[in-house]
Structure 1
Amino acid sequence: MSGGERDGGRRLSTKEAAERLGVKAETVYAYVSRGLLSSRRGPGGRGSTFDPKEVEALSRRNTRAAAASSAGGELAVRTRITLIEQDHYYFRGVDATELAAHYAYEQVAEWLWTGELPADVRFTAPEEIVTAARRAVQALPAHSSPTDRLRVATIAAAAADPLRFDLDEQAVLGTARALVPTLVDALPTVGSWARDEHTIAGRLWPRLATRAPDDGWMNALDLALALLIDHDLAASTLAVRVAASARAHPYAAISAGLGVLEGPLHGAASGLAHRMLTEVIERGSAAAVVADHLRAGRRVPGLGHRLYPREDPRAQALFTALEQVPEAHDALAAARDVVSTTARHTELYANVDLALAVMTVAAGMPSEAGETVFAVARTAGWIAHALEEYGERPLRMRPSGNYTGARPPQPLPLPTP
């Protein structure tokens, strides 16, 4: 029964409105001044009265806002995939850096998707789907970004797959195992070297670098892919889950993630770190480069992460792997110079974008190569989240807006002359 029904249409006094809202009388008047409540003078012109339905609606909005505030102002989503805690992150309860150090990217993907770790797994894609994706990418302008290419490849692959609307778990897994290699194979090649065309890292390398990879480089690339496969509810992952909540097919969900990933604060961040490291190596010192960033009011790329008070564990793991690659020596030294120079001003630690930049600079890859690695890697994590969301109640990712605009009824607006 609503407040209006209980009160038989009787308006509430200021005291009654305050009690229902759980606030002081002064706060009720503040709501009126902000347009959140409307008031009317009481009989005889004494005091203010309030519509009980309006008070009840505001009470519900305040309750939702309080719930959001208690959760840190963020949407909380049930998930069993990734936990970030005390400078570590875990995939289904297992230390993610340990998984990445001991198992290939494809195996880690299967662990996220199924909770099982196969001894050997290869991802393959139907030729007609790869051909459709490749042709679509080839039609793009030469200056297209990696995310542009991957997003177009995803859309083309979806159009070529008549079974894309099947959201059965096994069907989605089949789509996932085909989509990841399709995205890689659709990218243009810059080199002719491939160590193992049966692995995602082996197929991806000639799309990133012209040089021949040895075991050290291949281990570093595969490790980077496995480390980046998921990171809880990053902005792009949330977009994927929203799409999956609306029961969009996997290709559409991945496309939603790629759209968000292109932002400079997300997947493209490693490119900024790449260009900074290149400049540090050319100038022989990080001091002037860091000073230029600070003077311009820019953050120093590749430093700090809101989820890790100290160094990003993904950066630690990738730095350790790159120490085994002789060609990475100069880029590693430049990265350490950046960290130590910045530490004189504020205590910040390396994040995975800086580690990715070390790899891409040292291997002679273009500045956007880190974005490509990030997007290919994260595709498998997005699939894991889509799979999990398909098992939840549809459209649960539908928060309520906290309306702060003018209270109705407002007069009909007139056209602007």
Structure 2
Amino acid sequence: MRDQDPAAAPGPEGRRLSTKETADLLGVKPETVYAYVSRGQLSSRREPSGRGSTFDAKEVEALARRNRRDSNGGSTSGGELSVRTRITLIDKDRYYFRGVDAAELAARHSYEEVAEWLWTGQLRPGITFTAPEASATVARRAVDSLPEHSGPTDRLRVAAIAAAAADPLRFDLSESAVLGTARTLIPTLVAALPPLRHERSDEGPLANRLWARLTSRTSDEASLRALDTALALLVDHDLAASTLAVRVAASARAHPYAAVSAGLGVLEGPLHGAASGLAHRMLLDVLDQGTAAPVVADELRAGRRIPGLGHRLYPGEDPRARALFALLEDIPHAAPALAAARDIVATTARHAPLHANVDLALAVLTVSSGMPVSAGETVFAVARTAGWIAHTLEEYGERPLRMRPSGHYVGARPPQPLPQ
């Protein structure tokens, strides 16, 4: 009988595997095993004999199980969750909705038309979404009961929950029912927001109705087109943090209102939906001081990144920013904010060659339209609701509860004594 490999011999805490055995079990090269170690996905132990590292067999088998989930549409590859989707592709400083250039689609079609394309793969020219009066009334009452200082995401989340409570058929997860919910939920969210102008209009394109809830200024055709295009550009952006939360909820078969609520909860974080508000404040500071240099210097001195610049998915220019800036150039009253944005980009370029992202472009729109700091967050949330519905529908077609990663426990090893 051949002697047992010392590296694979069981220890008091369980069987240990050699690097080669670990690589074979995971189906990877030995160097990839050490990459897993560096990412914290595996723990290793150096053998006293100096013959290499060993790995806990149970830990390796758990990682192998996670990696095998690729065949079910979700996998852990290189330490990141991967989910199959037919909705959005981001590639080489461009992004696509169902294979169609998203920026071009947004330039030619309304927000509602782009949403329909995202949901069904079909265009419905001229479609508008209308909120049922009963649903809108319930949502308004719920939002009106909130404290005055409540933020936009607070209001939208409460409106979504109120609309859900008013819909006894919300647990119907069939495609036709979910699409019907989507076409009424989005306008209900807008209708629930308090108007900033005396007249309340819940008819016409969604951008027109949203405008009256973002600013007291009278709208013009160019500004409404910019807002509508911004909504369409922001409909979806692959698996952003909020979208992943939506898919987790949908994987557990939460109804569409609950899935959207999950997305809104994540969106409120300062690193996600609130980013445009930071860019808005910075633009106001630049306009107040007349130059970007001291404002950018203060941000750098404080160790903060410059809001509205750079994007981890776009080495070059954010295509959403490029499309929105092009429209803003046609709006005369947007010229000062546009100039301030260009000054920020040029000033920062001396330190780092970063391009403007959509948060800066959205900030130009909100600042030049007399909207509050939180307006960009509202636009983002309303727009992205359509994308969340698209991902909810897609996830309903997958195996239930597949979004269940295994935890990598790093706490005290059992058995531990009972606490005194």
TM-score relative to the length of structure 1:
0.87
In the alignment, which residue of structure 1 is the partner of 2:233?
227
CA positional deviation for 1:254:
0.1
Distance in 1 (alpha carbons) for counterparts of 2:198 and 2:92: 43
Alpha-carbon distance between aligned partners in 1 of 2:339 and 2:206, rounded to the nearest angstrom: 29
Q: Identify the range of structure 1 (213-222 vs 117-126) with the bigger mean alpha-carbon deviation.
A: 117-126
Shift of 1:169: 0.3
Tell me the alpha carbon deviations over residues 176-230 of structure 1, each in whole angstroms, 9 at most, x when there is no partner: 0000000000000112467883211011001001110110101000000000000
Alpha-carbon shift at residue 13 of structure 1 (Å): 3.5
- Structure 1 residue aligned with 2:26: none
Specify which of 197, 207, 222 is matched with residue 191 of structure 1: 197
1:95-145 Cα deviation digits (max 9, x unpaired): 000000000000000000000001221211221111110000000001000
Which residue in 1 is equivalent to 2:145?
139
Matches within 5 A, 1:8-407: 13-15=6-8, 17-18=17-18, 20-22=21-23, 55-63=56-64, 71-192=77-198, 197-407=203-413
Per-residue deviation, 1:70: 7.8
Residue-by-residue CA offset, 1:384-407 (whole Å, 9 max, x unaligned)? 000010111111111122222333
Query: Secondary structure of 2:86's partner?
Result: coil
Matches of 1:37 and 1:214, distance apart in 2: 64
Q: Distance in 2 between matches of 1:223 and 1:38?
A: 55
Paired residue secondary structure (2:90): strand
Pair 1:36–1:360, CA change in 2 (3 A): closer
Q: Distance in 1 between matches of 2:344 and 2:365?
A: 16
Question: Secondary structure of 1:84's partner?
Answer: strand
Identical columns (%): 66
| Matched AA of 2:7 | T
**Equivalent-residue separation in structure 1 for 2:212 and 2:45 (angstroms):** 66
Question: Are the aligned partners of 2:130 and 2:203 in contact in 1 as well (CA < 8 Å)?
Answer: no
Q: 1:276 to 1:168 in 2, by over 3 A?
A: same
Q: Cα gap change, 1:332/1:178 in structure 2, threshold over 3 Å: closer, same or farther?
A: same
Distance in 2 between the 1:70 and 1:195 partners? 48
The residue identity in structure 1 corresponding to 2:91 is E
**Partner in structure 2 of residue 4 of structure 1:** none
Which secondary structure does the structure 2 equivalent of 1:285 belong to?
coil
Which amino acid letter does the alignment assign opposite residue 13 of structure 1?
A: P
| Inter-partner Cα distance in structure 1 for 2:155 and 2:237 | 23
* Residue equivalent to 1:410: 415
Give the Å deviation of 1:310.
1.1
For each residue in 1:214-247, what CA deviation from the matched residue of structure 2 results, as whole angstroms up to 9, or x when unmatched? Answer: 1010100000000000000000000000000000
Is the 1:82–1:90 Cα contact (8 Å) retained in structure 2?
Answer: yes
User: Is the 1:193–1:205 contact (alpha carbons within 8 Å) kept by the matching residues of 2?
Assistant: no
Q: CA RMSD for the aligned pairs?
A: 3.1
CA gap 1:195/1:219 in 2 versus in 1, 3 angstroms: farther
Shift of 1:72: 3.7
Whether the 8 Å contact between 1:21 and 1:55 is mirrored in structure 2 is no
Larger Rg: 1
- Misfit runs of 4+, over 4 Å: 35-39, 64-70, 193-196
TM-score, length basis structure 2: 0.87
Cα distance in 2 for residues equivalent to 1:362 and 1:195: 23
Tell me if the contact between 2:76 and 2:82 (Cα under 8 Å) persists in the aligned partners: no
Once residues 323 and 38 of structure 1 are traced to their aligned partners in structure 2, the CA distance between those partners, rounded to angstroms, is 60
CA contact (8 A) 1:167 1:249 kept: yes
